[in-house]
Amino acid sequence: MDSINQGEVSSTSYRCAFCGETNHTFVDPSQGKQQKYIEDCQICCRPNELRVSYDEWNEQYAIRASQSQ
Ligand SMILES: [Zn+2]
């Protein structure tokens, strides 16, 4: 079953790949279960490349951050 509610925004967080601080962000479910985009850290303002994947088991998004050049 597809448990994603289209149109809703899922709140989640990731750890900055540069400074290690936790950033809270929102994932737009309409962009799919696998997403990749750049977001600037809210603390150090450096660009994190975020890989978003939807965890079907936990019914939430997981974000992996890496340093973007
Ligand atoms: Zn940072």
For the chain, the domains span 10-67
Look at residue 37 in the predicted model and tell me its pLDDT: 96
Q: How far is the CA of 41 from the centre of ligand 1 (A)?
A: 5
What is the tens place of the pLDDT at every residue in 19-69? Answer: 999 999 999 999 999 999 999 999 999 999 999 999 888 888 999 999 998
Instruction: List strands edge to edge, sheet with 60-67.
Output: 34-40, 47-55, 60-67
Look at residue 11 in the predicted model and tell me its pLDDT: 79
Kind and range of the H or E run holding 55: strand 47-55
Would you say residue 5 has pLDDT above 80? no
Q: How far is the CA of 1 from the centre of ligand 1 (A)?
A: 36
Q: How far is the CA of 63 from the centre of ligand 1 (A)?
A: 15
Q: What angle do CA 23, 69, 30 make, to 5 degrees?
A: 50
Q: How far is the CA of 11 from the centre of ligand 1 (A)?
A: 18
- The candidate with the shortest Cα–Cα distance to 16, out of 51, 43, 36, 37, is 43
> What is the residue whose two structure tokens read 């079907």?
56
- The candidate with the shortest Cα–Cα distance to 25, out of 33, 34, 17, 16, is 16
Q: Does the model's pTM come out above 0.85?
A: no
**Local confidence band at 6 (pLDDT 50, 70, 90 cut-offs):** low
